[in-house]
Homo-oligomer: A and B are copies of this chain.
Amino acid sequence: MAEKKLVEAITPMDEDFAKWYTDIVKKAELCDYSGVRGCMVIEPYGYALWENIRDSLDRRFKELGHENVSMPMFIPESLLQREKDHVEGFAPEVAWVTHGGSEKLAERLCVRPTSETLFCDYYARKLQSWRDLPKLYNQWCSVVRWEKTTRPFLRSVEFHWQEGHTMHETETEAREETERMLNVYADFCEKELAIPVVKGRKTDKEMFAGAVDTYTIEALMHDGKALQSGTSHFFGDGFARAFEIQYTGKDNQVRYPFQTSWGMSTRIIGGIIMTHGDDNGLVLPPAVAPVQVMIVPIAMHKPGVLDAANALCERLKGVCRVKVDATDNSPGWKFAQHEMKGVPLRIEIGPKDIAKNQCVAVRRDNRAKTFESLDELETRIPQLLQEVHDGMYAKALERRERMTYSVTTMDDMKETADNKPGFIKALWCGELACEEQIKEVAGLSSRCMPFEQEELSDVCVCCGRKAKKMVYWGKAY
């Protein structure tokens, strides 16, 4: 970027959170609106971030034996209709292709909103014997859902994701896979994105269309709203029966396999922004930041400074993603610009530093500044990046804990929902009626029934009957 622009201030978070969010998206150059309603242009910086997320997840999937494939982007209408719940869930929000060139199609095709039906169609043709199982397939692609109201990354008509679709001999194996992949997402969020998550199961009301069980990881954003950050579904053999997918078991009996699917999308970029960002801009987790270390030469035109900065950059290329900002902008402008873009670590190096065989390291997350010997940077930089990660995670966890409330009465629930943004933990009887009433009265949806249950009470917060589950409730993106 040879270009010189003003680093304009962004709207403070407390003033207008939604505007703060879109300011960051635009000014950190993550994405831009396109001429197509609800579709984004993901710009180089945003796409590099997504590539790092993709590569990291992809490595985890492959280590667990998954293989990537590519299914068609179109689903014939009759195929979408094979599983009753699924079509009811998705048909109202798909884009329909009706013409190819100048000809009207005999059958409409929808642009995939998700690909269960395509995978099922394929598995029905391919599976024959128990020797073919398990099938552990994944695909990276974009999907389309005709949303009315859209927001960059959080809700868009087209979005990028991965969708894993697996088939197994037994229910136990499929359930293990469902849970294993939820744990992959949770571990990825915590270890790479520094985002603490609550793991749990969705209520029937919030379940994926066609699933037997949906598991989710829920994260808490700066403004106290929840973000569903990844989901993993157990389908039982429902789709298999609807699509007549059968195989011959070890016992020579013809059987239906058990199925899972699981997905994480570009939505998680919205989660990164709203978990870590501040009034100076984006704050990126080191593991996925396109640039982890930005070297800013000080008094750049003095002899030896730029050379020292470039030499440092070359040395560090083996241990991190590093760049030198050698543009003719002022150091102050550069500091602000790279803070806006969330670069985890800034290294300043000027004539005085060179004389002392040192440089200055400034962390993005807390602006902590240290002097570092030039001799030990290959070991120090990874340590500093780890400290940034740990600091970000600790801060996000502390905030989530501070913003999580427990309630036992509806009055308290409504009062808390109205005045204290965050997660609300409360017991629930398991009835849809109560879930709907909580939505109506307090404006909260059930986020999940966490794996880690707590005994806050023994009766439902809404009806007072015997409680079945402790639930995280919240307002959600």
Q: Does A407 lie at the interface of the complex (its beta carbon under 8 Å from any beta carbon of B)? A: no
Chain B residues in 8 Å Cβ range of A374: none
Q: Does A101 lie at the interface of the complex (its beta carbon under 8 Å from any beta carbon of B)? A: yes
Chain B residues in 8 Å Cβ range of A79: 35
- Least CB separation from A128: chain B residue: B3
Say whether, besides A36-B72, A111-B111, A98 and B99 are in contact (CB < 8 Å). Answer: yes
Chain B residues in 8 Å Cβ range of A137: 44
Contact yes or no, A99 B92, CB < 8 A: no
Chain B residues in 8 Å Cβ range of A48: 67-68
Q: Which of A40-86 contact B (CB under 8 A)?
A: 40-44, 47-48, 50-51, 67-76, 79
Chain B residues in 8 Å Cβ range of A73: 39, 73, 111, 142, 144, 158
Chain B residues in 8 Å Cβ range of A42: 69-70
- CB contact between A99 and one of B76, B96, B131 (< 8 Å): that residue: B96
CA of A109 to CA of B137 in the docked complex: distance in angstroms? 31
Place the interface of chain A in its size category: 35 or more
Contact yes or no, B95 A97, CB < 8 A: yes
CA of A3 to CA of B125 in the docked complex: distance in angstroms? 16
CA of A381 to CA of B339 in the docked complex: distance in angstroms? 47
Contact yes or no, A74 B41, CB < 8 A: no
Contact yes or no, A160 B70, CB < 8 A: yes
Q: Does A2 lie at the interface of the complex (its beta carbon under 8 Å from any beta carbon of B)? A: yes
Pairs across A and B, CB under 8 Å, 6 listed: A35-B121, A36-B76, A72-B158, A73-B73, A92-B102, A96-B100
Listed in ascending order, the chain A residues whose CB lies under 8 Å from chain B are: 2-4, 32, 34-36, 39-44, 47-48, 50-51, 67-76, 79, 91-102, 109, 111, 118, 121-122, 125-126, 129, 131-132, 137, 141-142, 144, 146, 158, 160
Q: Top 7 A-B pairs ranked by shortest CB distance?
A: A39-B72, A44-B67, A100-B146, A3-B131, A42-B70, A96-B99, A36-B72
